[in-house]
Every structure is written in C-alpha cells, then in structure tokens.
Amino acid sequence: MSSTEIRNSRPTVLVTGVTGAVGRHLVDTLLARGAAVRARPGVSTSSSMPPWPPACAAS
C-alpha cells in the first residue's frame, strides 16, 4: 500500500466506553470527520448503546 493510499483510506477507530459522556462525544466527532468506528460499552455498564449511523459498528 502506498503512502497516498494510506492517506486516502478511511480509518477505522475502536472506541471503548461509548455509553459514557466522553466516549459518546468522541464517537460523534469521529463519525463527523468520516472515520469508521467500532464501538464497545464500558466493562461495568448497564446502559444500552446509543443509536449511531451504520458507519459505527457496535461490538
């Protein structure tokens, strides 16, 4: 993969703790900037995952 292809590729970012205030804001910001996001809730959370667009895959 060339450096041009790397710069032009869409990054995928793993964010943990997405049910918290910081994680939720971070996912929204990353999606707005065009990143693909894989999201995981925090370890000790009972909150449900927020509704994000398809670019955000929950795991």
Per-residue pLDDT of the chain (59 residues; tens, 9 = 90+): 565 565 667 788 999 888 888 998 999 999 999 899 988 887 665 556 666 666 666 65
Q: What is the pLDDT of residue 41?
A: 81
34: left (phi over 0), alpha (psi -120 to 50) or beta: left
Q: How far apart are CA 4 and CA 18, in angstroms?
A: 31
pLDDT for 39 equals 87
13: how many CB neighbours lie within 10 A of its CB? 15
What is residue 32's predicted lDDT score, i.e. its pLDDT?
A: 92
